[in-house]
Amino acid sequence: MDLINIIAGEMKLKTWQVAETVKLLDAGNTIPFIARYRKEATGELDETVLRTIVERLEYLRNLEKRKDEVLRLIDEQGKLNDELKTKILSATKLQEVEDLYRPYKQKKKTRASVAKEKGLEPLARWIISQLESGNPEEEAAKYLNVELGVTEIKDAINGSLDIIAEEVSDDAEIRKIVRIKTYETADISAKAKKEEERSPYEMYYSYREPVRRIPPHRILALNRGENEEYLTVNLDTDEEKIISYIENKYLKGGPCRGLVKGALHDAYKRLLAPSIQREIRTEITIRAAEQAVKVFAGNLRQLLLQPPVRGKVILGIDPGFRTGCKWALISDTGKLATVGVIYPHPPQKKWDEAKKDIRQVVLENDVQIIAIGNGTASRETEELVAEIIKDDKLPLEYIIVSEAGASVYSASSLAKEEFPDYDLSLRSAVSIARRLQDPLAELVKIEPQAIGVGQYQHDIQPKILEGSLGGVVESCVNTVGVDLNTASPTILKFVAGLNSAAAKNIVSFREKHGKFRLREELKKVPRIGEQTFIQCAGFIRLPDGDNLLDNTPVHPESYQLAVGILEKAGFVLEDFRSKAVEIRSALASLLAEEIAGELGAGVPTVKDIIEALQRPGRDPREDLPRPLLRKDITHLEDLREGMLLEGTVRNVVDFGLFVDIGLKNDGLVHISQLSENYVRHPMEVAAVGDIIKVKVLTIDMERGRVGLSMKEV
């Protein structure tokens, strides 16, 4: 197979783009490095496209390996012929290869294998040939053998029909037809195992939908309901119609026609249908999982790239009832100042005392923002904070922060290392405050799958989830860049080219020798060789370094080019200290195409350098809208249908958006209420963290649910 051309064709890319990408990948280059610093080589392919190339390349290379293995295994049996070899080599899917290998695969004991051991294979050949003449019973009598356990004519015939049924079910062409027809015509249905039992799956107690149309989130919901033994799920097909396709291939005439027809029905009902239906259930589950991972990855990216709330003194509160609300005060640089506990809620109900304690902390430390975790007792704690702000007219704002994963972090070895003297809930309060101050730096400490911005992520194989989400974290860290002198090993390990060992070595070197002054000094760190340095250098920053270029995304290999571009603008590096505004204006007037031609460089690289030099030290997250801060609380009773509100998107799923409008539970904007126009997926309209305007559509007081709309807002 020509893997390069196949991938280029599938992805509608030029062959040279894929060829260069594969060459760079095989040479050990990372995806962030290729996407940022090898744009000329790939034709400016972005990370998403590069990761798709990696996935397809891995699949196709594994396919080639499997073909080689299957050819070897069949050849060892002496059954490989040119026709079969051609079919295997021309297969484009792993399923096709497995179907072709199926007749030659060593099976456990089956009815057909037992019949073959009894010497009935020649009889099966005679029956399936369906000669115009001959008596099946007379032919079967020739195979009676007491020693082999064939004592009656019906035993010989039944055994031979078992052989035929298995061979038909192993026929690659038949399996392909049955698979296609089943997928195209089958309905997936569900019913309750116990009709009267209440469960979250009651909407599926009498459910039916064509397999080809079922959306991914419903597949995962049905699977979960089945696994939790609330539902019985089936694929319902038009059996007779599918069997007729099998009969068209095998059924002829003669006295054996009836026997063969029975064998074909048996092949379908006993062997083919259960097997193909399992395959289809597996296939649609894999697709649903891929979609769930895609949604989760998109949400995670938006969450990690939330703009940091820097330069603010923040009080983080981890709410609770019986054990109290733990709070942690962090400075404007993220340093933990002090911690405490208040007990405003039942059973203690020390409301006034809690208000006094929080007021004192706020006033004595000039707290500007309170970050409240969104878990148990969150809205009750929000009332406390809103009351303090209102009573004292404090210049204070608060925000509800997702605490998903905070408990995972607080129990981790990393948290114990950071805060050995504090218990789990106090560590959670610190995490809540810090994830507002710098979401990326804090959230990378948590396993991505523990961050609750997905749909059915707990039903997906951890390995699949980890691979995709790890790529998202890596992409976000490298998009933002990392301060080499303050970054923890946790965030450094996600920098392109680095791993946990290298990250720890960097921090140890920094602690021993002091701050890094130049990117080049990284080469002095143990296990940071030239290749590792090339991969990581452009993604680390030195805000207080000796070379201004070390605080930009400009790669060291392009420093000379950057100096040349500055000269074309009429400046030198030292001018940044006093002429930053003039430099920015001069750079904006340069034509990248002209400069690239004059300096013998690629246009994409020149454009990137000009942009980097215009804003040294820029954090790309700063261009995003700030989080929505509040001063007062909203109650369900305050709402009226038609009311217009502003809220923060907390989660995006296949069927809509969950929006925080200041209530205990997030409101739902169903996909049908996202726009007057057709919306294929909610991600086309909004992302996690977006601040949107919504209209109250429905209010369900009993269940505390609010339906929202983005139409006519």
For residue 353, what pLDDT band results from cuts at 50, 70 and 90? very high
Question: CA–CA separation, 133 vs 142, rounded Å?
Answer: 17
Closest CA to 166 of 219, 220, 223, 120: 120
The CATH number for 42's domain is 1.10.10.650
Asked if residues 225 and 201 have their Cβ atoms less than 8 Å apart, the reply is: yes
Tokens of 309: 């709330």
Domain's final residue, options 623, 653, 668? 623
Cross-strand bridge partners of residue 693: 646
Percentage of the chain modeled with pLDDT above 90: 80
Instruction: Say whether both 567 and 659 belong to one domain.
Output: no
Q: Which residues 6+ apart lie within 8 Å of 680 measured at CB?
A: none
Instruction: Say whether both 257 and 133 belong to one domain.
Output: yes
In the predicted structure, residue 237 carries a pLDDT above the cut 90: yes
The CATH number for 541's domain is 1.10.150.310
Residue 244's pLDDT is what? 95
Instruction: Say whether both 684 and 705 belong to one domain.
Output: yes
Kindly state whether residue 273 falls inside one of the protein's structural domains: yes
Kindly state whether residue 628 falls inside one of the protein's structural domains: no
Residue 455's pLDDT is what? 62
Quickly tell me which residue has 């148990």 as its tokens.
Answer: 376
Instruction: Say whether both 23 and 155 belong to one domain.
Output: no
Instruction: Say whether both 515 and 417 belong to one domain.
Output: no
Question: CA–CA separation, 126 vs 279, rounded Å?
Answer: 32
Domain's final residue, options 227, 259, 291? 291
Q: How many CA atoms lie within 13 A of 100 on its CB side?
A: 25
Instruction: Say whether both 619 and 642 belong to one domain.
Output: no
Instruction: Say whether both 540 and 680 belong to one domain.
Output: no
Kindly state whether residue 581 falls inside one of the protein's structural domains: yes
Q: Which helix (H) or strand (E) holds 292?
A: helix 273-304
Question: CA–CA separation, 630 vs 618, rounded Å?
Answer: 28
More confident residue, 298 or 559: 559
Instruction: Say whether both 146 and 281 belong to one domain.
Output: yes
Residue 664's pLDDT is what? 78
Query: How many separate domains does the chain show?
Result: 5
Domain's final residue, options 623, 656, 674? 623
Question: CA–CA separation, 34 vs 559, rounded Å?
Answer: 18
Kindly state whether residue 541 falls inside one of the protein's structural domains: yes
The one-letter amino acid code at 142 reads: K
Give the tens place of pLDDT for each residue, 650-659.
999 999 999 9
Closest CA to 666 of 642, 631, 692: 692
Residues 173-186: what's their mean pLDDT? 95
Kindly state whether residue 76 falls inside one of the protein's structural domains: yes
Kindly state whether residue 59 falls inside one of the protein's structural domains: yes
- Reported residue count of the chain is 713
Percentage of the chain modeled with pLDDT above 70: 99
pTM: 0.86
Tokens of 642: 């038609």
Question: CA–CA separation, 492 vs 500, rounded Å?
Answer: 8
For residue 35, what pLDDT band results from cuts at 50, 70 and 90? very high
Q: Which helix (H) or strand (E) holds 185?
A: helix 172-185
Asked if residues 88 and 68 have their Cβ atoms less than 8 Å apart, the reply is: no
Give the tens place of pLDDT for each residue, 468-478.
888 999 999 99
Instruction: Say whether both 172 and 221 belong to one domain.
Output: yes
Residue 1's pLDDT is what? 67
For residue 456, what pLDDT band results from cuts at 50, 70 and 90? low
Largest distance between two CA atoms of the chain: 107
Cross-strand bridge partners of residue 46: none
Question: CA–CA separation, 659 vs 650, rounded Å?
Answer: 6
For residue 697, what pLDDT band results from cuts at 50, 70 and 90? very high
In the predicted structure, residue 453 carries a pLDDT above the cut 80: no
In the predicted structure, residue 577 carries a pLDDT above the cut 90: no
Kindly state whether residue 453 falls inside one of the protein's structural domains: no
For residue 454, what pLDDT band results from cuts at 50, 70 and 90? low
Q: Residue 562 in 3-state DSSP?
A: helix
CA angle 119, 124, 126 (to 5 degrees): 115
Give the tens place of pLDDT for each residue, 299-333.
889 989 999 998 899 999 999 999 999 999 999 98
In the predicted structure, residue 357 carries a pLDDT above the cut 90: yes
Question: CA–CA separation, 327 vs 341, rounded Å?
Answer: 6
Instruction: Say whether both 379 and 321 belong to one domain.
Output: yes
Instruction: Look up the domain containing 41 and give its range.
Output: 3-88
Q: What b/e sequence results for 659-689 when a residue is b if at least 16 CB atoms lie within 10 Å of its CB, and e otherwise? A: bbbbbeebbbbebebbeeeebebbbebbbbb
Kindly state whether residue 264 falls inside one of the protein's structural domains: yes
Question: CA–CA separation, 533 vs 666, rounded Å?
Answer: 45
Residues 672-692: what's their mean pLDDT? 92
The CATH number for 640's domain is 2.40.50.140
Give the tens place of pLDDT for each residue, 379-424.
899 999 999 999 988 889 999 998 888 888 898 888 998 899 898 8
In the predicted structure, residue 461 carries a pLDDT above the cut 90: no
Instruction: Decide: residue 541, CB within 10 A, 0-12 exposed, 13-18 middle, 19+ buried.
Output: buried
In the predicted structure, residue 296 carries a pLDDT above the cut 90: no
Residue 398's pLDDT is what? 94
In sign, the C-alpha dihedral spanning 344, 347, 349, 354 is negative
